[in-house]
Amino acid sequence: MKTEEILGIIPARYASTRFPGKPLADIGGKPMIQRVYEQASKALKQVVVATDDQRIMNAVTRFGGQCVMTADTHRSGTDRCKEALDKTEAMHGHDYKVVVNIQGDEPFINPKQIEKLTSCFHNADTEIATLVKPLKNHRELFDPNKPKVVLNKDANALYFSRSPIPYLRNTPEEVWHIHHNYFIHIGLYAYRSDILREITLLHQTPLETAESLEQLRWLENGYIITTRKTDLESWSIDTPNDIEVLKDKGIL
């Protein structure tokens, strides 16, 4: 897979219940969206921000990044990525084979994670790819904000859940993580462009609605999600307090 065939897209909304204006939050003297953009650009030749807000577009333009304006009615970042793909291809007159959906709230994303993800597409049969991380403590296992994933023997995703899966019968819950190899889902996706266009046409499914996890819609419709394991740490910022936590840890 040639690097010019891969498009990195960073969906960025201004509206957020827990952290309005999050993409523009100051992270060590730079807006968060700039930090994400710069890290992604270390792994990808072509990166674009997809937003529905002029303030974000202005910020991206100021630091010299590429940005496309998308609708404010999208249900998810995946839908926003599809529109951004169409607009970027039309603007550049160039077709991309793979799209990487990069979370706009991870200003310290490691470029090696993106490289590991895109390596999945050396296999032409790969449809969708994502990363998983070995789970190492009891707290994470029972945290509903950290989706868990179970894999088959080929490292393809069988199921994602906010609950700890699998259930370990006859084993105390506090030591489940010691007796089984659990994995946390890292919310970084890549899709073949044709697959991205297909999955955005799908209707919501019962499992997706139950767990509020979009990737279950794809599994319910028969798509294969390839995974790669990573031990690299990543820090997402969901609330203003998360910035203070990073400062306390010496990361900022």
Residue 68 near residue 136, CB atoms below 8 Å: no
- Alpha carbon distance 48, 246 (integer Å): 26
What's the CA angle centered on 105, arms 56 and 189, to 5 degrees? 105
Q: What is the CATH number of domain 3-232?
A: 3.90.550.10
Q: pLDDT averaged over the chain?
A: 93
The pLDDT > 70 percentage for the chain reads 99
> What pLDDT score does 200 carry?
96
233 pLDDT band, cuts 50/70/90, is confident
CA dist 48 and 69 (Å) reads: 10
Q: What is the pTM of this model?
A: 0.94
pLDDT at 181 over 70: yes
Q: Write down the pLDDT at residue 250.
A: 67
SS3 at position 141: helix
Kindly state the tokens that stand for 21: 């204006």
**pLDDT tens track for 38-69:** 999 999 999 999 999 999 999 999 999 999 99
